[in-house]
Amino acid sequence: MRRRPRSPDHVPPTLGELAELTGGRVVGERARRIGAIRTLDAAGPGDLSFLTGAKYLEAARASRAGAILVGRETDGLAADQLVVEKPALALARLLALFHPAAAPAPGTHPTAILGAGARVDPGACLGPYVVVGARSTVAAGAVLHPHVVVGEDCRIGEQVVLHPHVVLYAGTALGAGTVVHAGSVLGADGFGYATDGGVHHKIPQVGRVEVGAEVEIGALAAIDRALLGSTRVGDGTKIDNLVQVGHNVEIGRASILCGQSGIAGSARLGDGVVLAGQAGVGGHLELGDGVQVASKSAVYETVAARSAVAGIPAIAIGAWRRQQALLKRLAGLFRRVAALERAAGVGGNGRSEEDPD
d(CA 357, CA 338): 12
In the chain, the amino acid numbered 83 is V
The residues near 289 (Cβ < 8 Å, ≥ 6 apart) are: 252, 270, 271, 272, 273, 305, 306
What does each C-alpha distance from 87 to 56, 73, 81, 348 come to in angstroms? 14, 12, 12, 63
Q: Which of 147, 200, 247, 284 is catalytic?
A: 247
User: CA Rg, the chain, in Å?
Assistant: 27
CA–CA distances in Å: residue 310 to residues 63, 100, 229, 293: 38, 39, 32, 6
Q: Does 247 participate in catalysis according to the annotation?
A: yes
* DSSP secondary structure letters along 123-160: T-EE-TT-EE-TT-EE-TT-EE-TT-EE-TT-EE-TT-
* Residue pair 16/36 in contact by the 8 Å Cβ criterion: no
309 has which bridge partners? 293, 316
Q: Which amino acid type is present at position 299?
A: V
How far is the C-alpha of 214 from the C-alpha of 247, rounded, in Å?
21
**Residues 6+ positions from 350 with CB-CB distance below 8 Å:** 338, 339, 341, 342
CA gap 119, 100 in Å, rounded: 29
Starting at the earlier edge strand, list the strands of the sheet with 167-168. 113-114, 131-132, 149-150, 167-168, 185-188, 222-224, 244-245, 262-263, 280-281, 298-299
Catalytic residues: 247
